[in-house]
Chains A and B, each alone.
Chain A
Amino acid sequence: MTEDKSEILQGTLDLMVLKTLDAIGPMHGYGIARRIEQLSEEALMVNQGTIYLCLVRLVQKRWITARWGASENNRRAKFYSITKAGRKQLDSETKNWERVAGVIGRLLQLSPRN
């Protein structure tokens, strides 16, 4: 909610969720949102509701699976896990992201003509 927090770029939330699930294993929606905020050192603002739209999209594409289970506090929660197809997609998205970030980085380093 603070002004120095950045909104997540459209389309990058899928990549973040896949990476989070790949790194920490099965996790519920709340845990995923919190983990992304913590890893970004609270610099990114994750709209907590939007995470569920992202999750349903990823489940539909079979990049993640969902099943009901019990949380660490013994609460009923839906847990998401990355699939083999999801890992493959994550690999491809990571390469694409690195390529785009590299191009943007080089563009921003161009010195101005005067």
Chain B
Amino acid sequence: MVARLWQFISRFRASLRPGLLDRDLNEELESHVTMLVEDYVSRGISPEEALRNARFDLGGRAQLLEAHRAVRGLPLLDAILRDLRNGLHVLRRNPEFAFTAIIIGLLCVRRHGRQHMRVAVILMTALAVVRYIRCNALASIDDGGRTSGN
């Protein structure tokens, strides 16, 4: 019971810092390969073949990393955090879309009133106009990097 509790806490913490633990495992696997290569070489195998054998013995690195992530973390929480990170990344790249989405979201949460729908339509139109202007500005940049109009 205590072991299960510790395991849950560890897995929760691991889900919050996937990059750090991936780097840690990669370093550990590198160290494993180095020791395995030394072992093969001491048995008279050429360094190239030793390295090939060592990598084969350890198995696919990508699959191992994936399996390690599944064992050390909480897959559901990992998926939610990954989606959140991706969502935030998209919102950061399109601030006007983020602003509109948040306002519309808040309005929808409060009430589906006609007044709110009107505000939502205005915001969506403003967003479309901003995007149209931005696209035109990008299209007008010629190959030399000079802008022509707009």
Contacts and interface: CB of A to CB of B under 8 A. Distances in A.
Chain B interface residue count: which class? 20 to 34
Contact of B34 (A47, A50, A75): A75
B64 A78 contact: no
A29 B32 contact: yes
B67 interface: yes
A11 to B, nearest CB: 14
Main SS at interface, chain B: helix
Contact of A49 (B6, B31, B59, B72): B59
Contacts of B57: 48
A62 B71 contact: no
Given A48-B57, A61-B3, A77 B64 contact: no
Interface residues of A, number: 26
Contacts, number: 68
Contacts of A30: 31-32, 35-36
B58 interface: yes
B32 A62 contact: no
B31 A60 contact: no
Nearest to A62: B6
Contacts of A13: none
Nearest 3 Cβ contacts at the A-B interface: A60-B10, A49-B59, A61-B3
Nearest to A73: B38
Contact of B64 (A34, A49, A59, A71): A49
Interface string A41-81: 00000011110110011011111000000010101111000
A71 B11 CA distance: 28
Nearest to A54: B71
A18 B96 CA distance: 56
B83 to A, nearest CB: 24
